[in-house]
Structure formats: structure tokens, C-alpha cells
Structure 1
Amino acid sequence: MLSSLLQTWKTRNEILSVAVSPDGGRAAAACSDSIIIWDVHTGQQILGPLKGHTLPITSVTFSPDGSIFASSSKDGTIRVWDSETGQPRAEPLRDHTKSVESVTFSGDGRLLISSSLDGTIRFSDPLTGHQAAEPLVVFWPTYVAIVSRDGAKLAYSYRGADVILFDLDTRNLLFQYLGHEDTVNHIAFSPDDSLIASASDDMTIRIWDTETGEAIGKPLKGHKSKIRSIAFSPDGKYMASGSDDKTVRVWDVKTGTMKGDPFTGHILWIYAVAFAPDVMENCGFNKDRSSPKIVSKSSFLGNWNASSEVNSIAGSPDGVRVVAACLNFILVWDTHTGQQTLGPLKRHTLPITSVAFSPDGSVIASGGKDRIVCIWDSKTGNLRTSPLEEHTDSVTSVAFTPNGSLLISSSVDRTIRFYNPYTGRSVGDRIATGMHHVSSVAVSPDGARLAGGCSDWTIKLYDLVTRTQIFQYEGHVGCVNQVVFSPNGQFIVSASDDCSARVWDSAAGYVLCAPLGGNEDYWVRSVAFSANSKYIALGSYDGGVRVCEARTGAMQGIPFSGHTGWVNAVGFTPDGRLVSGSMDKNLTVRDLSQLAKQETTDVPFHVLAKPMAAAPAVGFPQPHILPPPLPPRDAFNVKTHKSTSMPVQ
């Protein structure tokens, strides 16, 4: 599994190289002409900025025992630093006559190997700075040189696009690897020294056998621009790459296939990537002078192909199943195995806009553009009743009350209707929504209130007993696509075509947090609360899925970018997995359990000691297909709460 961003550390300058200590506890970053050291686990800066170089630093590396680290620079020098104090351990090494492009330690730590644009590779004693062996003259600018972990072999770039493997004991050439069509920027040995990987300006990665000299498989392709850096994982199974296309990709070394989504978030070239024992670290050169990013090795679990655009998803109360509305049919998957367990269920004649599970999981409801609501047996897939045909226009949303006694539907016909979910009969009076229709409905966990996101840019709150409107929230400047209650019912999150999502106090009507981490260029299509109420997932028209902290609105990590179409639906399972459904015909599942397990004592959402029956409906809200947004009109003569931001206490 591969996954999501854990931390971003800000610096004042661009970052050109990064290294992780052997124990995985510290990360060093070359920030222009200075060096900064962080604690990987806490994110605290523990050393630096360490200054001495007079021009940008090109490379930084730790010794095998972690006691010292070395840096090379365009100023033609190499410096050796004490890892604990940050003090220089020796005088600067000044043997090169031009920019030093790379520096690395031998496996036993006794040699420091450096490559330079002066066409030499030099071997120095890292403690004294003295020359330890005769330099290797290659008569060509050398951008990178590395030593195998056993100290027997040296690999370096030659004539730009070639890679040379050299025997350090005999000083004989072993192999000359050919194949790249442009400059080789980086080389890496696998942990067992059996493989060499090379990254190039030709946008490919090549893997070679160090014993036979043969190429392993085909070139790895996927990046859209120059590849600046590569690194093997500690177990040798995976390789990370950073590119000028602003992404980090992770590859399966054995198969040559990319694992999961590319990691995005940097806004300029990525110069360096490195693995730590339990996290992957990548570092990029950004306009905002940031930012090493710490990425965990778990999140992307897989894709489920629906063979049709996914308009809506809903999770069963136990989190075991996910139902998806796929054009005019329904599919059900097992969330643990990824196997389709039911469907396609067909009865709708036009696209299905919304699906929902009943609180006991026995029934699935669906509403569609064909104006009907269907009630299905969730085990057999059979219709439980005849289709409900009360609406006179497209059904936009369906939802159950927490006790399962009512099924609620909203429609473009500007009504909200109520049914017995087991007989299909209408129950009580409908709600007429006036001049504008309700795009999405959500029921509070206590079953007392109904929220409706409206095409007139407002959110209306109704008393479910009297079926009268009690509040109207204003602040969005576009159609409200979706509304969702937090699991304790105190808060509502709304998603809108105004490219924002907002968190409201459901009783007082104040905006507690706005906007959440939506994309300023794309409408927010869908929202969902995590089971602990601390996080909110957002799906948008740009194909991205974002996770924000509900209390602050801060985006957690980088947007997930696996979808290629609108994200119509997002939802959390009780155990912390995030499911998203898209117009690209896929459901994507990611493991966010580490977020789900975090304590919630520092947030205003007081999580219930015992989850209520409606929690799954909160986790998997009911997205829908919307008509174009309408301009706002005068609202009902009821109490109105405008968007007035209030601090969260």
C-alpha cells in the first residue's frame, strides 16, 4: 500500500538535495547554500541552518554510522559536518577545480567519493580531508557517482547519457550501460547491490543487472518531464522517483509498474527523493521556498471498475459493503476483498443520482433522473416494492432517518417527500421548497432535523416533526451540491459550485470554518465526515480528493489525484478507509486509518461514546447529478443566518 502526506516542512530557500540518516530518525536538506536537519518523527528542526558554502549545495549524504554528513557545492568544495553538533569536522575539501555535483560515502564509511564538472572522481578521507586514493580521470563532466554498499563497485554517469560500472579494487571497467537518450541525472544501487537504476532527462528510468550488465525489463515510463532523482526502498522492492513534472512516483522494481497514484503537491521541480525505514521522504524546489514532504507507505488500496460513471456511493452501516450508482444500474462491492457481490441491479431508465443504505443495512434506496425512487433488498438485489413515482421531475437525493422508519427524497420538482421504506407508501405531508429545488438532503443523527442544500445557494433546515423550515444559512455564492451532518449532529458541512466547502453550527447557523481546502478553480462536488468527526473529505470537478481538518479547515497532506474525471462521491468507512467515485468509471479506495485513529479531544466535535445508527449515512452522504445552478431569489420569510465567521472555541 502507498499513500498520503504526513508532514510538510517549510524552508526559506529552494531544496536541491535531501538525505535520511541510517536510523531513519533525521533528514538533512540542502537549502540553497545552507543545510537544515529535521527530526523525521516530530517534524522539529534540530540543526541549522548550517552555513559555509558560498554557492548552492548540490548534494548531501550521511555516513553509514550517521555520526557525520557531507555536502558538496557549486563552489567546488566538500564539507564534512558533525551530525550531533552541526560543527565542521575537517577543513573544506578543495581538490576539485569546478562544481562538485555529488558526494557519497563508501559502505564502510572510510571513503568519501565525489564527482565534478572538472571530469574527475575523487576519493577522500572524510575525517582528515586528505586524498585517500588516486583520482579517477574520466575526461567528461560527471554529474553523479555512487559506490555499492559492499564498497567494491563504483557507478558514475559518463558522456551525459551513459552509465559506467567500475571495479574499485582493480580499477577496471566492468560494464558500460547504454540506452538513455539524454543526460543521466541520478544513479542508485539496490540494497543488495545486484541492481543499478538510472534516471534521465529522457523521462525514463532504466534498471540494470550489476553481474551480467543486462537491462532488466523495459524502461520505466510515466513521468512527463526530466527525472531528477531516484531511490530504492530499504527492502529493494520499490523505487521512488522525483521529476520536473512536479510528481513523485513509486514503482514496483520486479514488475516495473507504478504503484498507486503519483504524489502531487509540489509546484516546481522535485530534485531529491529518499526512503526512511517507515516513511518515504521527497523534497522539491518550490516557488514558496518549501518543502520536504513526508509521505507514509500506506493509503492507496485499489480501484474498482464500475464500467460506467459513478454518480453516488453509500456504505453499509457495518462498513463491509459499498453501493454505487453507475449510470442507470447499481453495483455492490465487498470493501475488504474488493469483490463485486451484487449487481448490476437494473430498473432505472435514466441516470441514478443518489443511493443510500438503511440504518440496519437490509435495504438500499436509489433515486434517478427518471423521477422514480426504488427500494432494493440489499442481500438479494430484488425490488422490495414497486418503484415510487410521486415526483414529477428528477430525484436529486435519497436518505433514511436514523431509526429507519422514513425514506426521504428530494427532487427538481421542488418537493421533499417521505415514505415507509418497507411498503413504499407515502407518510405525511410533503415539503414544498418554493422557487428553488433541494439538491441534497441529510438527516441529523437524532432524527429531529432535515438539512437541504439548495439551488438558490442556501441551506435550509427543517423540523422533521412539523416539517416546517426553521433556519436558512447563507454564504455560498453557487448551487449547494451537498450537505452532511457531523456524527454528533452539531455541525453541517456543505459543498458548493462556488469552489468551497463550509462548516456550520447546525443550531446557531454560524460558519465555523470556511473555506475548507477546496480548489479555487473547480466546483466542490461532494463531502463526507470521518467517523471521528475530525476530518472532512472533499471531492471536486478537477478529479482531486482532499482531506481537511474540520476544526481549522487546513488541508491534510496533498490532494489525491488518481481520478481523471469529476469526483461525484466520497465517503469514509468506520475503520478509516476513504472511498471515492468518479465520472472516470472507477471507485478508488484509500487507507486513512491513521487519521481515523487520532484522538479528537482537541476538536469541537464531541464524538459520541456509542455511534448512532445514522453514522454510516453521515460517512457516506448522497451525492447526485445537478442541473446548472440558478441565480438566488428572495428566501422564505424565516429566520436567516448569513455567513458570519466565528472562532471555534
Structure 2
Amino acid sequence: MYGIAWSPDGKHIISAENNSTVTLVDTFHDPDAPNKTYFGPSDTYLDHSGPVYDVTWSPDGTRVAWAGHDKIVVVISVYDGVPTYNRNSILTYGGHNAAVHAVAWSPDGTRIVSASSDGTIHIWNAQTGKTLLTKNQEGEILAVAWAPFPRGEHIASGGTHKAVHIWDTTDGHTINTYQKHTGTIFDLAWSSGSSPYIASASADGTVQVWDAYDKHADKKNILTYTGHRDAVHSVTWSPDETHIASGSTDGTVHIWGTEDPMKGSTTSLYQVGSAVNVVAWSPDGSYIASGSDNTIMNIWKAPKS
């Protein structure tokens, strides 16, 4: 399992699988046990001819996009949380020449950015599929993250070149470059509020948190988390930005603090038992989901701040 995304309302999870499928999972509450949440599979989709690497919901929760090894990005519409599986309503974007590893929506939901092993990043219209901008970077691009408001015209991207680039979506010019990692960049996550922080997960075994606009972040990043024993493949902020969850090839998910006095200290550790490829925090902060090489999704109660 390579990708997991919660719907903005937290009622659904969609996962990208190693075996070319995408699965939608419903979450629901028992009225007789309001503090308990249940998770159950809803639908499975077979739109790709190879592994699906990433999946994401539109900000308004009405559409889902996913990207795969077969070079395409698929967009489907969603009505009241139920995917409308009418092939006439599906948009397929085929602008890349190699596997597409990462995909993300713009904060206003009008555009999608996709990143590929072909060394290109494309921004395209989420309704028509028209390519609006193409940016070239060295190496394979494995991670891309669109900045939330108020910096919604900026994107962070990284991959095998080991550097993270912050750049402008209007013309593609680079705003800042972060080069403190010594291994491939597998994942990136912007903090969700007004603070301009990015967490980057790397094959060097670290997660590093830094200011996206500090030209000297390489020398004075905010913190470097070294709790994992192997490559870190995924990183996600808690909604209140006080903690980060990271998943690693070492088979664990770590929850750690980003504020004093817990700065960079592990607060919870989950033994998953198989290489963790993706972690995702629920929008209300109550749950964390992880996906592993064994194709199993694990969901558990997030620790209280």
C-alpha cells in the first residue's frame, strides 16, 4: 500500500494499493457508542495496469485523484462520499512519460500537480486536464506538496536528487532550495496553518523540519528527527501542528513532538511489522492510518496532545 488519504470530512479513507487497485473505506459512528468509530470497505476500483503510488481528495471532498506506475492520473467525481463510477465522468491525465509518483490539489481545487520519474512536474486544470505549466528537475520526482493558504501559489518537490525545491506555480521559478538531506526525498508535508514549515522524509533515516522561506535553513533547520532505524517514507502533521507522525522501512510509525519541551522527542511508537510506506492523520486529529508493504491498512487512536 503506497497511498492513503482521508476525506476532508473524515468520513472516508481512500487507499492506493500495490496491486493496481484503489479502495474506498467508509468510517461511521455507532449511535449507542458515540466514542467508537468503525471502518469498513466500500468499493474497489481497477483503473491502473500497475501499482498505484499516490491518492488525494479535492479540498471540497467532491473528487478524488490517484496516480500510478502506468504514467497516468485518474480523477473521479464523488457525490455525498460515494464515488460516481461512470467512465464518461472520469478525467484521465496522460501528460507524463514515466511512472507518476505523487499528486496533489491546489488549495482552491481548480488545479492538480503531478510528479513523475521522468523528471517533470506538471500543473494542470482539474476539470479539463489541460497542462498549465511543466517544470523540470534533476532525477526522479517522488514527492510533491502544494502549500496551503495563505501561500497557495507555492509548491515543494523532491526526489532522488536529495534536494527539496520550493517554487512558484505561476511561472515555475525557484524560491528556495533545501539541501541538508543525504538521501532520496520520499515525502513532504507543509504545516497546515500560517507558519511556513515543511517536514521532509528521506532515505537518510531522518525527518527534517525547516522554514520553507529561510535561505539559511540548511544551516539552522528547526529540528532533525533521528528516531527511525531505516529510511523514512512518509510524514504527516497533526491538525494542531504540535506533533508529526512518520513511517519507516523499519516497520514502525513514530509520533513525536514539534514544540518545546517535546521538541523532536518520541511520544508514541507503533510496531506495524512491515515496511511503512504511508501515514495519514485524520482531519479531526483522532486517528492515524498507515499503509505497509503487506497491503494492510492499520488505523489507531492518535495520542492526545
TM-score of the superposed pair, with normalisation by structure 1: 0.42
Residue in structure 1 matched with residue 13 of structure 2 by the alignment: 322
For the pair 1:339 / 2:40, whether they are aligned, the reply is yes
CA distance in 1: counterparts of 2:296 and 2:192, whole angstroms: 27
> Which residue of 230, 235, 259 corresponds with 1:527?
235
CA distance in 2: counterparts of 1:566 and 1:311, whole angstroms: 11
CA distance in 1: counterparts of 2:246 and 2:126, whole angstroms: 29
CA distance in 1: counterparts of 2:59 and 2:140, whole angstroms: 26
- Structure 1 gap segments, 5+ residues each: 1-309, 596-649
- Structure 2 gap segments, 5+ residues each: 29-37
Amino acid paired to 1:432: N
Residue in structure 2 matched with residue 449 of structure 1 by the alignment: 154
> Which of the pair has the greater relative contact order for Cα pairs under 8 Å at 6+ separation?
2
For the pair 1:499 / 2:235, whether they are aligned, the reply is no
Residue in structure 1 matched with residue 32 of structure 2 by the alignment: none
CA distance in 1: counterparts of 2:170 and 2:222, whole angstroms: 29
Residue in structure 1 matched with residue 61 of structure 2 by the alignment: 361
List structure 1 segments (4+ residues) > 6 angstroms apart after TM superposition.
none
CA distance in 1: counterparts of 2:21 and 2:283, whole angstroms: 26
Q: Measured at CA, do residues 313 and 571 of structure 1 come closer, stay the same or move farther in structure 2, by a change above 3 Å?
A: same
Residue in structure 2 matched with residue 594 of structure 1 by the alignment: 304
CA distance in 2: counterparts of 1:477 and 1:381, whole angstroms: 43
CA distance in 1: counterparts of 2:97 and 2:210, whole angstroms: 32
- Given that 2:124 and 2:133 are in contact with CA atoms closer than 8 Å, whether structure 1 keeps it comes out as no
- Given that 1:518 and 1:524 are in contact with CA atoms closer than 8 Å, whether structure 2 keeps it comes out as no
Amino acid paired to 1:560: Y
Residue 575 of structure 1, CA deviation: 2.2
Amino acid paired to 2:197: F
Count the aligned residue pairs. 280
1:385-464 superposed matches below 5 A: 385-426=90-131, 428-433=132-137, 435-446=138-149, 447-464=152-169
Residue in structure 2 matched with residue 259 of structure 1 by the alignment: none
Residue in structure 1 matched with residue 245 of structure 2 by the alignment: 537
- Given that 1:385 and 1:423 are in contact with CA atoms closer than 8 Å, whether structure 2 keeps it comes out as no
1:78-227 superposed matches below 5 A: none
What is the RMSD computed on CA atoms of the aligned residues?
1.5
Give the secondary-structure state (helix, strand or coil) at the position aligned to 1:556: strand
Residue 319 of structure 1, CA deviation: 1.2
Residue 377 of structure 1, CA deviation: 2.0
Amino acid paired to 1:496: S
TM-score of the superposed pair, with normalisation by structure 2: 0.88
Residue in structure 2 matched with residue 513 of structure 1 by the alignment: 222
Residue 501 of structure 1, CA deviation: 0.4
Query: 1:35-93 deviations in whole A, cap 9, x for unaligned?
Result: xxxxxxxxxxxxxxxxxxxxxxxxxxxxxxxxxxxxxxxxxxxxxxxxxxxxxxxxxxx
- Given that 1:399 and 1:442 are in contact with CA atoms closer than 8 Å, whether structure 2 keeps it comes out as yes
Normalized per residue, which structure has more strand? Answer: 2
Amino acid paired to 1:460: H
Residue in structure 1 matched with residue 279 of structure 2 by the alignment: 570
